[in-house]
């Protein structure tokens, strides 16, 4: 997993839960990188799982809810670090439609060792889109947060529902309907 995901995660922890919580989740000897990440580095996904599990224990907030909150936080971090990746889109549905074939293709050029999920579009109208998320990492709650913020980025909102096609969350269908 790319370092930018780790640096954004630790930034979120500090801003939402404070420095003491941040210290507590990294300073227990379980992390190979000892909580030190650079945005261009690549780290074991298990290290992120450890950080999120520790944060869940520390805050008593379920892991899934923390991942969703992180998705909400991460969108702006990605957009600010790589404005060129999203500058050509003028609607959230247009952006979502292009995640697989443009956005993540661009990301792969920036970070050749990025491990990205796939998003297959099942259906798109002027006001809605249905797509299937798949990834061995099962970070569909992260996708949920990112999708929600994509709408806010353009000044809108959407109603987002999802169905687990696989129980472990590695394949999830999203139905997204623009509000207003």
Residue nearest to ligand MNH as judged by C-beta position: 135
Q: Cβ of residue 20: shortest distance to ligand MNH, in angstroms?
A: 27
> Which of 13, 25, 78, 93 contacts ligand MNH by CB under 6 A?
78
Which residue of 12, 25, 31, 146 would you call a contact of ligand MNH, by CB under 6 A? 146
Assign 1 to helix, strand or coil. coil
The answer to whether residue 173 forms part of the interface with ligand MNH (CB under 6 A) is no
Contact region with ligand MNH (CB under 6 A), list: 20-28, 60-68, 121-129, 143-151 = 143-151
137/173 with CB nearer ligand MNH: 137
Question: Quick one: residue 158, left, alpha or beta (phi over 0 = left, psi -120 to 50 = alpha)?
Answer: beta
Residue 93 sits in the site that holds ligand MNH (CB under 6 A):
no
Ranges within 109-138 binding ligand MNH (CB under 6 A) = 111, 114-117, 135, 137
8 Å CB contact between 63 and 149:
no
CB of 66 to ligand MNH, least distance (A): 14
Please, where are the H alpha helices in the chain?
3-17, 19-26, 45-59, 63-81, 83-86, 92-97, 104-110, 140-153
Pairing of strands 158-164, 118-124: unpaired
Residue from 68, 78, 56, 97 nearest 2 by CA: 78
The contact set with ligand MNH (CB under 6 A) reads 1-2, 4-5, 78-79, 82, 85-86, 96, 99, 103, 107, 111, 114-117, 135, 137, 139, 142-143, 146-147, 150
């Amino acid at each position: 997993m790319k370092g930018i995901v780790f640096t954004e995660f630790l930034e979120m922890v500090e801003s939402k839960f404070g420095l003491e919580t941040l210290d507590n989740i990294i300073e227990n000897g379980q992390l190979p990188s000892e909580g030190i990440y650079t945005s261009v580095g690549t780290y074991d996904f298990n290290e992120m799982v450890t950080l999120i599990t520790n944060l869940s224990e520390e805050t008593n907030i379920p892991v899934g809810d923390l991942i969703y909150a992180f998705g909400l936080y991460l969108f702006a971090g990605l957009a600010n670090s790589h404005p060129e990746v999203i500058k050509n889109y003028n609607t959230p549905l247009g952006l979502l439609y292009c995640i697989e074939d443009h956005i993540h293709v661009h990301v792969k050029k920036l970070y050749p060792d990025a491990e990205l999920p796939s998003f297959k579009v099942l259906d798109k109208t002027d006001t809605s889109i249905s797509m299937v998320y798949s990834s061995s990492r099962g970070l569909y709650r992260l996708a949920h947060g990112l999708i929600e913020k994509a709408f806010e980025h353009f000044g809108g909102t959407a109603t987002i529902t999802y169905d687990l096609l696989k129980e472990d969350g590695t394949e999830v269908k999203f139905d997204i309907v623009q509000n207003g």
